[in-house]
C-alpha cells in the first residue's frame, strides 16, 4: 500500500525531523544575520565613524563584508554547538 510505504519512508529516514531542522536552521540563520547587522556591526560603525563596515575593502577584496559573514558564521556555529551539547546531556540523539 502506497500510504504505508510513505509512512515507513518518513519513519525510516526521519524526514520530519530533518525538515524541522532545516526550517529552524534557515530561520536561525536569519536571526543571527539580524543580530550581526542590527546590533553588533552598529557598534563597529560607532567605533569607526564615517565608515560603513560592509564597504571596507583592501584592494579588490571586500574585507568588511567577509568580516560580517565570518561573525555570522561564528555565532551560528556556537549556537549549533550549544544546542548539540544540551541535546547530548538530555540524551537526545
Q: What is the pLDDT of residues 1-29, one digit of tens each?
A: 999 998 888 888 888 888 988 999 999 99
Q: What pLDDT is recorded for position 48? A: 83
Q: What pLDDT is recorded for position 74? A: 94
Q: What is the pLDDT of residues 34-62, one digit of tens each?
A: 998 899 988 988 988 888 888 889 999 99
Q: What is the pLDDT of residues 69-88, one digit of tens each?
A: 999 999 999 998 998 899 88
Whether residue 76 contacts residue 28, with contact meaning beta carbons closer than 8 Å, is answered with yes
Q: CA-CA distance, 6 to 83, in Å (whole number)?
A: 30
CA distances from 22 to 4, 16, 25, 72 (A): 25, 10, 5, 18
Q: Where are the domains of the chain?
A: 2-89
Task: Check: pTM over 0.75? Answer yes or no.
Answer: no
Amino acid at each position: 500500500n502506497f500510504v504505508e510505504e510513505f509512512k515507513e519512508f518518513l519513519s525510516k529516514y526521519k524526514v520530519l525531523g530533518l525538515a524541522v531542522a532545516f526550517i529552524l536552521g534557515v530561520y536561525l540563520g536569519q536571526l543571527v544575520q539580524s543580530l550581526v547587522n542590527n546590533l553588533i556591526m552598529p557598534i563597529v560603525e560607532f567605533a569607526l565613524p564615517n565608515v560603513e563596515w560592509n564597504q571596507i575593502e583592501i584592494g579588490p577584496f571586500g574585507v568588511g563584508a567577509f568580516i560580517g559573514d565570518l561573525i555570522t558564521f561564528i555565532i551560528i556555529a556556537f549556537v549549533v554547538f550549544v544546542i548539540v551539547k544540551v541535546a547530548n546531556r538530555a540524551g537526545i540523539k
